[in-house]
Structure 1
Amino acid sequence: MNNVLSIQSHVVFGHAGNSAAVFPMRRLGVNVWPLNTVQFSNHTQYGRWTGGVVDADELQSVIEGIGAIGVLGRCNAVLSGYLGATEQGRAVVEIVKMVKAVNPRALYFCDPVMGATGGCTVAPGIEDFLVTTMPTVADAMMPNHTELEKLAGRTIETVEEAVDACRDVIARGPRIVLVKHLFDRNSRADTFNMLAVTASEAWFAQRPLYPFARQPVGVGDLTSAVFVARTLLGDSLRNALEHTLAAVNAVVKTTYDAGRYELEIVASQDEIAKPTDRFPAIRVTGGDVVRRG
């Protein structure tokens, strides 16, 4: 069985960070070792919360403890998300080194949460650290649109420009860039776009965009988690993208139909494993993508 060390935030109420990622990965058949960077009462988009940041030294100490009992080599992947302090970013880099030292085949998936959308709050210095350091360390980066712009250092308005930006990031180290939410001026306003890119492939896919009065939080964390799990389970880039899009669509649709704000992850668990609706990905070739609708 695959094991993922998931280094993210934790909220006691609701679904964000590990609270949105751990259960879906387990439901897909991937074991998870959750390591929380913060413990908050709820996610920060409520505008008020309690709790605090875990000390960076403690994060490393926990992993050293796993190594001390001789099981760290069973870790197949590290997934990092929300960081509560820049020091935690440096700790994540050291943890990735520790894991790869005992399992060179382990992969590092970086979700570069920069607080760019939805009112998410991150500490000063984290954005710069994610932009300058993490592409040189990660095997895969999973930004949203704004985060991709910051990683690439330029404005992006089309799928083709996004592919070029992803390839620029890939040139710095990662093998894969998954754009979890892509704005494209040529797409319809009622579609939600995703893009998966390697040095040799690029796949673009769309699902419906649901008209929430207030968009739910944790969708990106859920997206990264499903993509990581499906990749570890052996999916091709295209299949991992398609399953991820379909599974996340099922959760978001269930949440919207229920009139909820917090993601209905548990209620959607069977759809996460085997989505009913599928959204075929389109290959982007030679700067062109065939569009639907």
Structure 2
Amino acid sequence: MDIDNDHRVLSIQSHVVSGYCGNKSAVFPLQTLGFDVDFINSVQFSTHTGYPRWTGQVLNEQDIFELIDGLRHNNLLCKYTHLLSGYARSASFLEAMHSAIKEIKSVAPNVVYLCDPVLGDDGRMYVPHELLSVYKEKIIPLADIICPNQFEAELLSGIKITGMKTALEAIDYLHSLGIKTVVISSTETGFDDTNEQLMTIGSSQLPGANNQDRQLCKLVIPRIPSRFTGTGDLFAALFLAWFTKTKFDLKITMENVTATLNSIIRRTYEYANNKPNGLELPFNRELRIIQSRDDILEPKIQNSAELI
């Protein structure tokens, strides 16, 4: 493992006191894989919002400006090699995040920025609609890598994904905005009539391990019959780590990421099924990330990515 490399990530996304999503899903896997992680919590909630009741605070634009100002005055902004962003709750916060990312890119020109454009899922937005235009016009053009789910890719591209052809059209549109690596983390529509599989589709214009000009891969995994919060945040963090460690080999990265994610979800599913009230309780469905440290360090590849 390349633990001697000086990889330092600034992760800007949500935080929960109890459970796993946002930075709680991202920080431990990144640290386990040898990355130093600094993090700004866009919100701090008691739990994720899938619980019957949740409380907490929302960071505003002035808060992030103050935090960035403190890092700036201590000459720390130039130390970052990677940026990661996820859930934000307001357009004004996204605007402030845009300014921060632009500044970091100006003082650390080789920084790699992965944007997980958290907008919604299952055909429904769960952030205010005005965030979409800020993502499209300001945040996405700064990104080197994006990891939307199918619904988010449709929102960002304006293309309804009904199969592989339209998925590739959406990916090509996002490439046209200047994004070198586009990964649709999960697709559900038009690929599997039995609804028992999920597909990840990735495209990278960065030269990978074999120095090919463009890498285009798909990977199919079995669907586990339940919903788990924080899997997208975990996917993005794992992708950022493995894409770096494999020197931009998209195929190996996708295999490692999905293997780890699948192991964690299966462990969580089995744990929940052995608890009172099973999968009905949100607490039982919290990702078993800490218990999966070995799977994070050494993923057990069971599903191979296929070059398209």
- Normalised by the length of structure 2, the TM-score is 0.87
Shift of 1:166: 0.6
Unaligned runs of 5+ in 1: 285-293
The aligned residue for residue 244 of structure 2 is 232
Q: Report the Cα distance in structure 1 between the residues aligned to 2:60 and 2:243, rounded to whole angstroms.
A: 31
Alpha-carbon spacing, 1:159–1:176, altered in 2? closer, same or farther (3 Å): same
The aligned residue for residue 265 of structure 2 is 252
Q: Report the Cα distance in structure 2 between the residues aligned to 1:232 and 1:19, rounded to whole angstroms.
A: 21
Alpha-carbon spacing, 1:245–1:92, altered in 2? closer, same or farther (3 Å): same
Q: Report the Cα distance in structure 2 between the residues aligned to 1:2 and 1:266, rounded to whole angstroms.
A: 21
Q: Report the Cα distance in structure 2 between the residues aligned to 1:134 and 1:197, rounded to whole angstroms.
A: 19
The aligned residue for residue 112 of structure 1 is 117
1:28-39 to structure 2, matched below 5 A, reads 28-39=33-44
Q: Report the Cα distance in structure 2 between the residues aligned to 1:227 and 1:160, rounded to whole angstroms.
A: 24
Sequence identity, in percent? 31
| Amino acid of the structure 1 residue aligned with 2:293 | Q
Indicate yes or no: 2:308 matched with 1:263.
no
Shift of 1:16: 0.7
The aligned residue for residue 209 of structure 1 is 223
Shift of 1:118: 9.2
| Amino acid of the structure 2 residue aligned with 1:96 | I
Tell me which of 270, 289, 296 is aligned to 1:272. 296
Contact kept in structure 2, 1:45 and 1:118, CA below 8 Å: no
Unaligned runs of 5+ in 2: 1-5, 206-213, 273-283
Q: Which runs of 4+ in 1 moved over 6 A?
A: none
* Higher mean displacement: 50-59 or 15-24: 50-59
Contact kept in structure 2, 1:45 and 1:119, CA below 8 Å: no
Contact kept in structure 1, 2:159 and 2:166, CA below 8 Å: no
Q: Report the Cα distance in structure 1 between the residues aligned to 2:126 and 2:157, rounded to whole angstroms.
A: 22
Indicate yes or no: 2:45 matched with 1:40.
yes
Q: Report the Cα distance in structure 1 between the residues aligned to 2:145 and 2:118, rounded to whole angstroms.
A: 14
Contact kept in structure 1, 2:255 and 2:301, CA below 8 Å: no
The aligned residue for residue 165 of structure 1 is 170
SS where residue 46 of structure 1 aligns? coil
| Amino acid of the structure 1 residue aligned with 2:117 | P
| Amino acid of the structure 2 residue aligned with 1:282 | E
| Amino acid of the structure 2 residue aligned with 1:28 | L
Indicate yes or no: 2:92 matched with 1:87.
yes
Contact kept in structure 1, 2:159 and 2:169, CA below 8 Å: no
Alpha-carbon spacing, 1:120–1:31, altered in 2? closer, same or farther (3 Å): farther
Contact kept in structure 1, 2:188 and 2:195, CA below 8 Å: no
SS where residue 50 of structure 2 aligns? helix
